[in-house]
């Protein structure tokens, strides 16, 4: 407990003193994934591959459909490691851009890196979508974990020993009060101190439709902004990117649901997976 308290205090001090610009690159080697300790306390969860594929979660294995997400995964991971970042938010100007699908694909893609510990938190509390995409029915909501009604080890599920999932079994009508509470920041710091994930992915609500995402962006190191081809207006994307940039580092903008894929992409996936 004393070690956890020291680690938690160190995480708080680090975040309080952090500026929006990039932190120095991390040179220390990553700790190997261990099946012991706090991760071993999480209940295991094995998603049905058919459900994942039906919901366009392709990156649970290396396959042709996962290639775009794998490219994004590697770009994101290398950029975050270079800057010493751990917490990544994913948001969009409006609903329907596929941010939860991208968040899940990034998380499962990272989980295939055996020396990487990843945590996915569904903080789109008004319309949580991660559990449905993965075919899971959580017993609790994110509200319960963030307010201390249920402990993280009793709420989160673990996939393959290195992917922790914090999902919601139902919606929360007005989560802003919870997301802006000091206790939420403390819970997130505790998760980072106790489980030491290399990457924490936060699936947030849309920026231009609620104020929930703004409440969380102050806790993260960087963010991806999702836009949907033939749906997202350029003016809305510009506004969203600007507002996100006022609160954290914009890692990039991702154009989702783009149908123009080169046929050459099939080349590396013609054999057995």
Check the CA dihedral 140-146-150-154 and report its sign: positive
Residue 122's DSSP bridge partners are 203
Q: What letter would DSSP give residue 31?
A: P
Question: Residue 18 domain-assigned?
Answer: no
Structure tokens at 216: 């969380």
Question: Residue 242 domain-assigned?
Answer: yes
pTM for this model (two decimals): 0.84
Query: 14-40, pLDDT tens digit by residue?
Result: 555 544 444 334 333 444 455 568 999
Token match 């899940």: residue? 104
Question: Residue 144 domain-assigned?
Answer: yes
Query: How confident is the model at residue 6, as a pLDDT?
Result: 57
The answer to whether residues 220 and 192 touch, using CB atoms and an 8 Å cutoff, is no
Whole-angstrom distance, CA of residue 198 vs CA of residue 95:
28
Which residue from 123, 118, 122 is spatially nearest to 196, judged by alpha carbons? 118
Structure tokens at 228: 């949907």
- In the predicted model, residues of the chain with pLDDT beneath 50 are 1, 8, 18-32, 263, 271-273
Which residue from 88, 114, 82, 55 is spatially nearest to 203, judged by alpha carbons? 88
Whole-angstrom distance, CA of residue 13 vs CA of residue 9:
6
Question: Residue 53 domain-assigned?
Answer: yes
Question: Residue 10 domain-assigned?
Answer: no
Tally of domains in the chain: 1
Whole-angstrom distance, CA of residue 205 vs CA of residue 128:
9
Question: Residue 137 domain-assigned?
Answer: yes
**CB neighbour list of residue 80: distance below 8 Å, 6 or more residues apart:** 86, 88, 199, 221, 222, 251
Question: Residue 3 domain-assigned?
Answer: no
Return left, alpha or beta for 36; rule: phi > 0 is left, psi -120 to 50 is alpha, else beta.
beta
Question: Residue 8 domain-assigned?
Answer: no
Which residue from 229, 250, 230 is spatially nearest to 239, judged by alpha carbons? 250
The answer to whether residues 112 and 245 touch, using CB atoms and an 8 Å cutoff, is no
The H or E element spanning position 240 is helix 234-245
Residue 163: which CATH number?
A: 3.40.50.300
For residue 64, give its domain range. Answer: 43-258
According to DSSP, the β-strands at 222-228 and 43-44 are: unpaired
Query: How confident is the model at residue 104, as a pLDDT?
Result: 98
Query: How confident is the model at residue 35, as a pLDDT?
Result: 54
């Amino acid at each position: 407990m004393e070690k956890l308290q020291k680690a938690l205090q160190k995480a708080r001090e680090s975040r309080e003193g952090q500026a929006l610009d990039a932190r120095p690159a991390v040179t220390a080697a990553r700790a190997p994934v261990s099946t012991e300790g706090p991760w071993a306390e999480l209940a295991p969860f094995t998603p049905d591959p058919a459900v994942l594929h039906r919901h366009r979660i392709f990156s649970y294995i290396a396959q042709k459909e996962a290639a775009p997400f794998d490219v994004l995964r590697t770009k994101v991971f290398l950029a975050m490691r270079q800057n010493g970042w751990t917490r990544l938010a994913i948001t969009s100007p409006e609903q329907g851009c596929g941010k939860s699908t991208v968040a899940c694909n990034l998380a499962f893609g990272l989980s295939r890196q055996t020396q990487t510990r990843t945590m996915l938190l569904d903080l789109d509390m008004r319309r949580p979508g991660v559990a449905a995409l993965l075919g899971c029915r959580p017993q609790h909501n994110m509200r319960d974990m963030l307010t201390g009604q249920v402990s993280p080890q009793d709420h989160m599920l673990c996939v393959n020993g290195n992917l922790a999932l914090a999902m919601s079994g139902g919606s929360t009508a007005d989560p802003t009060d919870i997301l802006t509470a000091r206790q939420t920041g403390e819970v997130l710091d505790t998760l980072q101190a106790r489980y030491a994930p290399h990457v924490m992915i936060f699936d947030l609500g849309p920026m231009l439709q609620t104020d929930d995402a703004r409440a969380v962006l102050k806790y993260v190191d960087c963010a991806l902004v999702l836009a949907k081809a033939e749906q997202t207006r350029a003016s809305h994307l510009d506004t969203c990117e600007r507002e996100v940039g006022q609160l954290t580092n914009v890692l990039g903008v991702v154009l989702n649901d783009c149908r123009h894929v080169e046929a050459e992409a099939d080349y590396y996936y013609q054999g057995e997976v």
